Structure 1
Amino acid sequence: MEGALLRPSFLLLLLLLQPGEYSRAAADEAELTGILGGSVTFPLRIPAAQKFKNGAWAVKTRSLATVIAGKPPSVLVFDPSYEGRLRFPDDSYSLQITDLRMEDTGSYTVEFSTDKENFAYREFTLQVSKGQLPPTIACDSMACEDDACIYTLRCAIRDGRENVTYSWSNAPNSVLSMDSIVHIPQRHQAARENVTCTAHLPNGTSSRTVSPKDFCAEQVPATRIVCDSVTCANGTCHYTMRCVAEERGGRVTYSWTQKDSGAVVSTGPILRVSPRPFEALPAVICTARHPASNSSRMISPKDLCPDFPPDLSLASSLSYRLIILLLALGALSAGVIA
């Protein structure tokens, strides 16, 4: 198995080292520094007049990867610890390592060829340190009622370190939360300004700033509720409502709950409500759940369907009851006269 893995690298090196057609470039030593969990790029610095053809990378004398020019490049990775973490942008073919680990520290070399040079050599030294990367911020949810929304933001350190505390603020002395999560109403001044999450680590702090309204609008597709139909008969109206949310990078699932009780009344994008005569219509909330967030909207069925005023069902019910009463009175009067 080991011989099978090394064979493509060996063939590529034979291609690079064609006798009599190459000149070895002087070793170009470069010292690079990366932050734990971050990324680093080893620049090839190929002259603009030349085009990259192929190359072989090594780390600490071990074969790391080979790359052949193309869109996208053809890449073969030999070290399993780097699987999924190597990038070779087709504009430069420089090596980029993402999600850096402490064990990535060490020496890296590359032997490559271009359309005008059959053999070139670069050497690098990488030092990975435990610096403070900016925390990541995610919009967990956007809950809206009419035109007012509440934004829920979550802050986290990317490498999952322990002994980390968080705080949110929208001014140097205005603390919004001392937790990794903050809830910001749209009417709050912070929703219209930038808010900052600060991660407090044992060896320092790290922070990131976003605008809640703009950030959530980009991250979480807004949810809308539309009234499909209302039909009324015998004093009872039947409301059919539909929840709509964009699918942005994944499947969307829906659920309907009552505002007061929180009880789930339906799953799926369609909700049908049939209140009894004189029964108050409860406000309902539709929640659209996306792969990494959710958005919800609350509304009353009567408010959603203004073309069908609520007094229609009441009027129908009163008319029906009035007819029954008049018939009863007529029968009673007929009996008395008789």
Structure 2
Amino acid sequence: MFWLLPSLPFVFCLGSGNAVSQSNSTSLVVNGVLGGSVILPVKLPTEVDVSIITWHYNGTAIVTIDLKREVKMVLNPRWGERLNFTQMYSLNLSNLMMADTGHYSIQFTTKTTTIVPSGYTLRIFRQLRNLKVINHVQLSENETCDIYLICAVENADDTSSFWWQDSRNICLNGTNFTTSWDPKNSSGQNYTCIAKNPVTKLSLSVSAQSLCEGVLTKENLYQGGTWIITTFVVAILIIILVCILVWRKRRGRFSSEFSLQGCRFLSCFF
């Protein structure tokens, strides 16, 4: 099982298609899955009589096939039984390892010449697994549901891409997604996390309604409204108390000044 994929930027939310990637004019990029298998196709030239086929890995011969005597010789024990060939001598490499990454080329030998057609650049990737969405929700002061989401997956590396897509096909790159949902002003919303690397694409959707049903209960909304009213009443009481204290302080100062002036007035007669 193998993939021929483009070395082009992802175009999110527009769908995906099959394509071929070439790192240069003579090397075709092939993506394989760790532990899987891959086939590197070969097209025998028809204009010449090929006697020997030689496969090279990073410039070193790994196997030769004598077409006249129908003999295959593996030149490196590392490959062992993992190397097989189709009827047309395409290379079938099984039980792929990360160490198999590299450049593969083929050489045709005739009685008079040697032909080296275009080769392959093999890349090995781990499949992404166990996609999950970590969520945290809370009731905001304006009685909407604040949603915090994180997309997580096993075997992610620097070749992995993540993005979020909502019911309106609006996309946001990255693993984290934050939004607010108001059931009074919005219909049900779904948020989809998508994880992709060159050999895997996974997606998982969550519903705003199901995420928020625990915090948007009547009891919570009532408690939120009660908290606002209580805060307002306490603030009013504090203001009233401060006003009373200021008034009493000013009243006491006025009474003292009035008594002092009365004593001075009486001293004029004695």
TM-score calculated relative to the size of structure 2: 0.38
Higher RCO, 1 or 2 (CA under 8 Å, sep at least 6)? Answer: 2
| Structure having the larger proportion of residues in helix | 2
Structure whose alpha-carbon radius of gyration is higher: 2
Between structures 1 and 2, the one with greater strand share: 1
TM-score with structure 1 length normalisation?
0.31
